[in-house]
Structure 1
Amino acid sequence: MPRRLAIVGLAAVLACPALAQQVQQNQAIPYPTTPQPAETQTNQGLGQNVQQREQRVRQGGAPQDTRAQTNQGQAGATAQMGQQQSQADRQYVEQTLAAGTVSLQASNFAATKAQNPRVKQFAGFEIAEQNTLSDVMHSMAEPTATSSTTKGAQQAASTAPELPQNDAAAMERMSKAQGGPAFDKDYVAMQLKGHQDLFAVQERYLQGNPQNRELMNVAKLAMGQIREHIALLQDIQKELGQ
């Protein structure tokens, strides 16, 4: 009886060509007698061996994440760009505050020592302008500063600007000078050079493709005002016979 069942089963298998073909294929596949360790088996998704997978995990990725190193490189580049931008913001604020301080102090002297009406009038304009610009810059060091204000800008805004030696010497000279035509000419010449230098500071910052929207807008507005003051100073200088 068992022999008859075996014959019937074999006949049924042979009667189905697809199933018969599968049986023949299975019989032809050589199976290893000893299983291979998982570490020696190649898997393109996981890497060549367990050491590679462990290395990816230490780099912050999943065992199968082959992009972990690339992602780390991109994050490092982004951080470096952020540091460069922060440094550019700091330099811009420092230079703007330093030039503004010199212009403000000189204008304070001119407000009492200048004799030419136009020179005295310009000094009043400059005092108001520099006080406003200084308030804007120092506001970036306050706790309510926007999140886009970089650390470099905050540090520069909270620190008293360091004046170049030649500017400090000019302040000393003007503080001791007597009012009169010579003082007026000296003040106008000094203001003209200071405004040209301050214009260059704004221009360099904007050409650096800044990401700080607040500072970028300040620089754009300042450039327009500085350009007008340069034209006014040049006109006054001609009137003084320089």
Structure 2
Amino acid sequence: MLNRRIALLGLAAGAALTPVALVPAASARTFSPSEHTAMTLMGGTLAKQTSELAQERARHAAVKQFATFEIAEQTAIAQVLTDLPNPPPAPLDADHAAVLKTLQDTPAGPAFDRAYVQAQIQGHEELLMVQQGYLDDTNRRTDGQHIAVLARVSIQQHLSMLRELQRLLAA
């Protein structure tokens, strides 16, 4: 069972970590259990909050549908990582908060749909890097490894869906 104290300490440490967006994709970086938890929760919070915004502002039905799936997924991941039935949102660092603010400032319509999908692609790429970095860490916990393996598959599927949505919206 996931140790609640480690998960909560990881969440608290999230603000002090280097944002994933600042880690070059080409560099191989490992993530400790607390970093994995904190960064997964922070990325998930951004994905969920931007998806809630998309439910209100998106115009394309497929974008709204993806947003609905993303909210459910991020809620479930946060529940598993925190072992809480209704986990609070993780604090966002400056980079993640800026993404949310940009989408909040984008009016409803096709431009919002494209911006939301692009933000989701970037966020999912970061989350994928965090999962892989955790799986590359030799000091990982078995329960965290199982979560990261499942999250990695889901993230890869979502990236495929998002890239197809991006092509659809560009047409």
User: How is 1:135-214 mapped onto 2 (pairs within 5 angstroms)?
Assistant: 135-139=79-83, 161-214=90-143
1:178 Cα deviation after fit = 1.7
Of the candidates 57, 61, 84, which is equivalent to residue 117 of structure 1?
61
1:211 Cα deviation after fit = 4.1
Q: Is the 8 A contact 1:108 1:123 kept in 2?
A: yes
Q: Does 1:92 align with 2:19?
A: no
1:100 Cα deviation after fit = 0.3
Q: Is the 8 A contact 1:111 1:124 kept in 2?
A: yes
Structure 1 or 2, whichever has the larger Rg, is 1
Write the deviation string for residues 97-145 of structure 1: whole angstroms up to 9, x where unpaired: 0100000000000011100111011000100000000100111x89xxx
**Residue type matched to 1:170 in 2?**
V
**Residue type matched to 2:102 in 1?**
R
Q: Does 1:106 align with 2:35?
A: no
1:177 Cα deviation after fit = 2.6
Write the deviation string for residues 200-220 of structure 1: whole angstroms up to 9, x where unpaired: 000000011244111110000
User: What is the rounded CA distance, in whole Å, between the counterparts of 1:223 and 1:210 in structure 2?
Assistant: 18
**Residue type matched to 1:164 in 2?**
D
Of the candidates 228, 235, 239, which is equivalent to residue 157 of structure 2?
228
Cα–Cα, structure 1 residues 233 and 159, in superposed 2: closer, same or farther, change >3 Å? closer
User: What is the rounded CA distance, in whole Å, between the counterparts of 2:88 and 2:170 in structure 1?
Assistant: 40
Q: What residue in structure 2 maps to residue 66 of structure 1? A: none
Q: Is the 8 A contact 1:119 1:236 kept in 2?
A: yes
**Residue type matched to 2:39 in 1?**
Q
Aligned-pair identity (%)? 33
1:163 Cα deviation after fit = 1.7
Q: What residue in structure 2 maps to residue 11 of structure 1? A: none
- Over the residues paired in the alignment, what is the CA RMSD in angstroms? 2.1
Aligned length: 140
Q: TM-score, normalization: structure 1?
A: 0.54
1:167 Cα deviation after fit = 1.4
**Residue type matched to 2:56 in 1?**
T
Cα–Cα, structure 1 residues 159 and 209, in superposed 2: closer, same or farther, change >3 Å? farther
Q: Is the 8 A contact 1:210 1:216 kept in 2?
A: no
Q: Is the 8 A contact 2:117 2:166 kept in 1?
A: yes
1:160 Cα deviation after fit = 6.2
Q: Is the 8 A contact 2:135 2:145 kept in 1?
A: yes
For the residue of structure 1 that corresponds to 2:112, the secondary structure is: helix
Q: Does 1:217 align with 2:146?
A: yes
For the residue of structure 1 that corresponds to 2:170, the secondary structure is: coil
Q: What residue in structure 1 maps to residue 166 of structure 2? A: 237
User: After the TM superposition, which segments of 4 or more aligned residues of structure 1 sit over 6 Å from their partners?
Assistant: none
Q: What residue in structure 2 maps to residue 23 of structure 1? A: none
1:192 Cα deviation after fit = 0.3
